[in-house]
Structure formats: C-alpha cells, structure tokens
C-alpha cells in the first residue's frame, strides 16, 4: 500500500477546517473478457468472469467503510464492444448501494464506453452525476449546504477524442475550496496506448486544480505530486501484462494537505514468476521445484494467474521445452494448486534460451547455416494464409504481424535447429 502525503501552504482566504474525501477509480472494464486465458478450468473460469464485479463490490465497500464524500470514476466502466447488460445492471446496483450511504458518484465515459456506443439504456440512481458530453463541464459538490468542491470533466461521445481536452478546463470563479479535474486520456509522450485526449503535464498544472483524476492507463502511476496528477490504474488485472495489486485511491483533500491511500480491489492477480531450474537434472524434479517456488512466491497473496519463465544453465530444459515435455508437468502442477482456497493457475510459461543460435552456426555453409539465413530473409505471411485467411477462421483471428510474427519465426527456427542437430553426435 502506498501512502502519499504532501503539505502546502494555505491558499488565500482558505478555511482551514475544510476537508473532503473521495475514491478515485478508473477503467473498471466490467464484464470484459480476459486476454490470454485459453482453456482454464471451469471454477477458475467462473472466478475470472466475476472478478471485475467483485472488484467493483470492493470499491463500493471501500467507499462506505471510509465514509467518503463521493466516488470519481474516470471512464471505461465497461466495454461497448463486448457489452453485457449485466455490467451496467451491476453498476446500477453498486450505485444504489452508495446512494443508501449518501455517497455521490461522478463519472465520465471513456473510449471503451463512449456514449454513442452504449446500447443499454440503464438508468442510474440520482446520486450518480454523469458528464453528459464531450464539452468540459462541471458539477459542484455540497457539504452542509455549502459548495465545497467543483468537479470538472467530459465524456467520450464517440470512440476517440483526439483534441487536447486538457486545455478546455477552466477553474470556476468564486471561493470554492477544492477543484478536481477528471480526465480520461494519456500523456503526449505515451506511445504504448491509443493516444486519446493528449495532454502535457504543464497543461494540467497551470490550471491550479487541487487534484487531477486521470483514467485510461491501466498501470497505476502518480505523475506529479503538487498538485496530485494520478492514474489509479484499473481495478482488476485482465491480462498478463497487468500484474500485481490493482485498485483505487482513497484521497483526503484538505486545505493544507493531501493524503492518498491505495486500496487494492482485485479478487485475483496476474503475476509473472521466473524459476531457475538449474538444479533439476530430470524432468520429474521439475514438478516439485515449480510447486515449491510457487508456494514460496505466493505465500501471502490471494488467487493468482501465473506466468512462469524457466531458466537453467543446463541443456536439458531446452530439450524438454523443444520436445514439449513441459506441458504435462505444468498440467500436473496446476492440478494441485488450482484447488486450494487461494488458488493459483499457471496459464502460460516460457523457457529462457541459454544460448541463441550463434553467429558461427548462421555463417556456416552447411544446411543449418543456410536455414538460419533463410529465416532471417523471408517473411512468413504467405505460409500462414492457409489458416488466417480461411473463410471460417479469419473472423475469429487477428492477423499475425510484428512481434507475434517474430516470435513464431523464432520458435520455428529453434525447433528446426534443435531437431536437425539433436542426434548429430551419435
């Protein structure tokens, strides 16, 4: 859990006693299917399927337990493309629960739940305030019949918002103690994600707001501390890249001080684990090794979806991998670990190659050298047409390009070289 504390001096004419608290969350992606999980056991499947909802329930509980004034949800509550009614109905129930405790919700829609793409007309209760369109607007929050916070934001009407929305935020005149901006978008410099509503940090800092509640980026990050500019990350990891704790921030703003507490909400975690199996001479030793490493690693963690990376200074690991003997071992390990209360499931593993196919080999005049050179020269797309442009199959598959292509090439090359050379000495 991370705790931020920052002190700054009194603003002009500020009331020292003013204080508000809220939960900042984003990117709920309710009921969106997980990526990279093929053929998981039925009971895990169920848990995975409910994990985003569980995380939402925990968010509501956290808001109630902390007696916050309101909850901010900055976009991507669900995915229009894979929309289920359940997602919004569950949202409505969550909001109703908050309503019971007099907690307001301020939400904006993002690139995944943009307004025009929503086919389900679910009506939320009166404590929910939704930014109605792409124009930056605001709501005011009243406490004891006095306005004590202005919350600014906008919603995506269509799939993408490319203009620099940050510049449109304007601080309301008058003595409102706190100004909070909600923005679903990414930094100009961010190239890993779709660049929506791009902003520079200076765009935000010059607005003289007290807090910038961001959304869109699933990795939790505090971009800046005075004022706080924060990505809370998503509330439940949904693919192998979204590892570790996921949740929301509990923020307490006062005139002099901002306290931030991260509250984990995930009901299961993605994590990657590297295991050195140098001391395993035989295949059967591997199972025990993996189990002990996993239990060591996940001792204090909840349910886990694990990705393993094996390392060894021996050839045998390579051979086992090339001969696809590892699958069985992994299956055996999964059999034991997935029925525990804090279940774990290895959904993927990789083997780190001790050596790459060395240059010497690649330069040889012999067949292997020729083969390696050929791999480097040729694109594989034409080989894959048969499946990827198959009438029945193509609608379910993405074309293999870029990294995927390289990976496949790499695997094929290794497999061939291994096969070609494996009995060479005998």
Name the residues that contact another protein, by CB under 8 A: 31, 33-40, 45, 48-49, 82, 84-87, 89, 119-121, 315, 359-361, 363-371, 374-375, 378, 380, 383-384, 386-388, 390, 392-393, 396-398, 400, 404, 408-409, 411-413, 415-416, 419-425
Report in angstroms how near the CB of residue 73 gets to another protein at its nearest.
20
The radius of gyration computed from the CA coordinates of the chain, to the nearest angstrom, equals 26
Nearer to another protein, 16 or 401 (CB): 401
Give the tokens for residue 329.
């071992």
Residue 140 or 319 having the CB closest to another protein: 319
Rank residues 88 and 254 by Cβ distance to another protein and give the closer one: 88
Closest CB to another protein among 225 and 405?
405
- Segment 8-15 long-range contacts (CB within 8 Å, at least 24 positions apart): 8/226, 8/256, 8/257, 9/256, 10/255, 10/256, 11/255, 13/175, 14/177, 14/255, 15/177, 15/255
CA dihedral 20, 25, 31, 32 (to 10 degrees): 160
Q: How far is the CB of 284 from another protein (least distance, A)?
A: 18
Helix (H), strand (E) at residue 150: strand 146-153
Report which secondary-structure segment, H or E, holds 369.
Answer: helix 367-377
DSSP 33: P
Cβ 413 to another protein shortest distance, Å: 7
For another protein, the closer of residues 142 and 327 by Cβ is 327
Q: In this structure, what token pair is assigned to residue 365? A: 């005049």
Angle formed by the axes of helices 315-322 and 403-421, nearest 10°:
110
CB of 127 to another protein, least distance (A): 20
* Closest distance to another protein from the beta carbon of 53 (Å): 9
Query: The tokens 């359940």 sit on which residue?
Result: 86
Reduced to 3 states (helix: H, G, I; strand: E, B; else coil), residue 213 is: strand
Query: Is 42 exposed, middle or buried (CB count within 10 Å of its CB: 0-12, 13-18, 19+)?
Result: exposed
Residue whose structure tokens are 């996921």:
246
Least Cβ distance, residue 104 to another protein (angstroms): 24
Q: Which is nearer to another protein, 146 or 323 (CB)?
A: 323
CB of 233 to another protein, least distance (A): 22
> Which residue, 143 or 348, has its beta carbon nearer to another protein?
348
| Residue closer to another protein, measured from CB, 86 or 188 | 86
Cα 109 from chain centre: 17
Minimum gap (Å) between residue 349 Cβ and another protein: 13
Residues 6 or more apart whose CB falls under 8 angstroms from that of 318 comprise 312, 351, 353, 354, 418
In the bound complex, what is the minimum distance in angstroms from residue 327's beta carbon to another protein? 11
Cβ closest to another protein, residue 162 vs residue 421:
421
CA 379 to chain centroid: 32
């Amino acid at each position: 859990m991370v705790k931020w504390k920052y002190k700054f001096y009194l603003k002009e004419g500020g009331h020292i006693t003013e204080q508000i608290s809220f939960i900042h969350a984003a990117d709920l992606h309710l009921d969106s299917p997980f990526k990279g999980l093929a053929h998981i056991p039925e009971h895990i499947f169920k848990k995975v399927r409910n994990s985003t909802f569980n995380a939402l329930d925990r968010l509501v509980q956290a808001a109630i337990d902390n007696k916050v004034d309101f909850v901010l949800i900055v976009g991507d509550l669900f995915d229009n493309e894979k929309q289920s009614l359940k997602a919004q109905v569950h949202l409505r129930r969550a909001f109703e629960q908050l309503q019971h405790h007099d907690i307001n919700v301020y939400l904006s829609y993002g690139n995944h739940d943009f307004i025009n793409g929503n086919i389900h007309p679910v009506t939320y209760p009166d404590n929910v305030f939704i930014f109605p369109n792409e124009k930056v607007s605001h709501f005011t929050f009243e406490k004891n019949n006095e306005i004590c916070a202005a919350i600014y934001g906008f919603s995506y009407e269509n799939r993408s918002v490319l203009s620099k929305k940050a510049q449109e935020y304007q601080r309301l005149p008058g003595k409102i103690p706190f100004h909070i901006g909600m923005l679903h978008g990414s930094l100009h410099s961010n190239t890993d994600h779709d660049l929506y509503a791009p902003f520079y940090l200076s765009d935000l800092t010059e607005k003289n707001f007290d807090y910038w509640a961001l959304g869109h980026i699933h990795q939790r990050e505090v971009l800046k501390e005075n004022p706080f500019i924060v990505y809370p990350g998503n509330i439940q990891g949904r693919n192998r890249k979204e590892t570790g704790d996921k949740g929301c921030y509990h923020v307490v703003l006062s005139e002099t001080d901002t306290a931030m507490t991260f509250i984990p909400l995930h009901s299961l975690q993605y994590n990657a684990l590297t295991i050195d199996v140098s001391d395993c001479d035989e295949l059967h030793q591997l199972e025990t090794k993996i189990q002990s490493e996993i239990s060591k690693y996940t001792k204090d963690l909840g349910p886990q979806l694990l990705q393993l990376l094996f390392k060894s200074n021996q050839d045998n690991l390579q051979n086992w991998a090339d001969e696809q003997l590892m699958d069985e071992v992994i299956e055996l390990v999964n059999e034991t670990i997935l029925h525990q209360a804090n279940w774990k499931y290895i959904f993927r593993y990789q083997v780190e190659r001790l050596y790459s196919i060395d240059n010497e080999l690649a330069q040889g005049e012999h067949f292997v050298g020729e083969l390696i050179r050929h791999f480097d020269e040729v694109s594989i797309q034409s080989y894959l047409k048969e499946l990827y442009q198959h009438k029945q199959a193509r609608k379910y598959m993405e074309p293999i390009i870029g990294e995927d292509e390289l990976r496949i090439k790499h695997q094929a090359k290794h497999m061939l070289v291994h096969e070609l050379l494996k009995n060479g000495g005998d």
